[in-house]
């Protein structure tokens, strides 16, 4: 264990020199609803904008503020290492779809806010947040991951259609100090090659039934003995039984019983198959019967938890290094 801790500390000390390459291009904002983008090139400007087809291509660029999309279905292609303060349409009622594709080795660090569907394809996100705060029965408002590795600080996807993972990893384990991370989804669909790791509890409005989760009901790898639970009119949660009482899990891992060891392109986290552990705590509530309550928190155990927190710290400090570098360039 001491050697493990020492190794993590050594890696953390190396962050300023190895974590992120310098962005070749920097912008304070990228407003695609305005004119003046037709002559931009990847080599000279770090982006191109095909207005006719609503296709934005980014390459080794840092946009310190907003990337504002027009109110139409848009595609974003990511090349190299790219940072964006916030990608959105500056209109909570703009429910057009957004697709983000990653090229080989590309990495994106961004806050993404949409009101319609969002599809991530062959994308690696090293940090960020994803939000769709449009609750209700909109069948096409799905967060879909294909062959992607997504690491977030917070996820808030409120439409009933929920999230759908295909050969992907979704890790919400990067909470920053004084932040309030969420893992908010109404429904989860995932195949046997996908994995979800969350350092915070599952929350939602309870607008879907347990049956809507299908095979995912059998995918609770952590906490040990955990299961999905729902009372009529209440949220879907993941609970464990402690001394005959149900307690809400403050962290969870979802992984198919036979699929956890699959190699996923752009591996996005530290989970490496059945038997791994994560950091986090489990609410050992004091309420009785079938009621999932709250109470004292017992920390998760195992070296895997330390590794996960170490990895989160590594990426968080990397993010800080990028922000510091960007601020220096803006002066």
* CB-based burial, 27-42: b 16+ in 10 Å, e otherwise: beebbbeeeebeebeb
Q: Which is higher by pLDDT, 264 or 154?
A: 154
Which of 92, 88, 89 lies closest to 71, judged by CA? Answer: 89
**pLDDT tens column, 40-58:** 999 999 999 999 999 999 9
**pLDDT tens column, 71-101:** 999 999 999 999 999 999 999 888 999 999 9
Number of domains present in the structure of the chain? 1
**pLDDT tens column, 218-238:** 999 999 999 999 999 999 999
Task: Name the token pair of 258.
Answer: 């036979």
**pLDDT tens column, 305-325:** 334 434 444 444 444 444 444
Query: Does the pLDDT at position 273 exceed 80?
Result: no
Reported as a pLDDT band with limits 50, 70 and 90, residue 22 is low
**Distance of CA 110 to CAs 143, 214, 302, Å?**
16, 31, 31
Beta strand 163-166 pairing with 188-190: parallel
Which of 101, 104, 149, 105 lies closest to 125, judged by CA? Answer: 149
pLDDT of residue 259: 47
Q: What are phi and psi for residue 187, nearest 5 degrees? A: -150, 145
Range of the domain at 44: 2-330
The top-scoring range by mean pLDDT among 104-108, 242-246, 271-275, 298-302 is 104-108
Cis check: omega of the bond before 197, within 30 degrees of 0: no
């Amino acid at each position: 264990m001491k050697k493990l801790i020492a190794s993590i500390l050594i890696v953390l000390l190396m962050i300023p020199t190895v974590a992120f390459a310098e962005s070749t291009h920097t912008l304070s904002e990228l407003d695609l609803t305005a004119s003046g983008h037709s002559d931009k090139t990847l080599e000279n400007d770090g982006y191109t904008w095909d207005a006719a087809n609503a296709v934005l291509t980014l390459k080794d660029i840092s946009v310190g503020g907003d990337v504002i999309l027009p109110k139409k279905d848009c595609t974003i292609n990511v090349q190299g290492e790219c940072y964006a303060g916030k990608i959105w349409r500056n209109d909570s009622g703009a429910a057009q779809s957004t697709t983000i594709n990653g090229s080989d080795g590309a990495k994106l660090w961004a806050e993404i806010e949409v009101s319609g569907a969002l599809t991530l394809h062959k994308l690696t996100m090293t940090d960020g947040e994803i939000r769709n705060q449009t609750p209700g029965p909109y069948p096409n408002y799905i967060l879909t991951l294909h062959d992607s590795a997504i690491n977030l600080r917070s996820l808030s996807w409120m439409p009933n259609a929920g999230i759908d993972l295909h050969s992907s990893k979704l890790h919400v384990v990067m909470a920053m100090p004084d932040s309030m991370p969420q893992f908010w989804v109404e429904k989860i669909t995932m195949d046997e090659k996908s994995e979800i790791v969350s350092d915070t509890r599952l929350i939602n409005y309870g607008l879907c039934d347990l049956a809507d989760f299908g095979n995912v009901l059998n995918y609770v790898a952590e906490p040990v003995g955990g299961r999905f639970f729902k009372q009529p009119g209440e949220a879907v949660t993941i609970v464990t039984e402690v001394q005959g009482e149900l307690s809400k899990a403050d962290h969870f891992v979802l992984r198919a019983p036979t699929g956890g060891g699959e190699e996923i392109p752009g591996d996005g986290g530290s989970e490496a198959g059945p038997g791994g552990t994560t950091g986090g705590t489990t609410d050992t509530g004091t309420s009785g019967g079938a009621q999932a309550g709250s109470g004292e928190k017992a920390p998760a155990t195992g070296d895997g938890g330390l590794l996960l927190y170490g990895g989160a710290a590594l990426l968080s400090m990397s993010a800080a290094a990028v922000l510091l570098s960007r601020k220096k360039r803006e002066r």
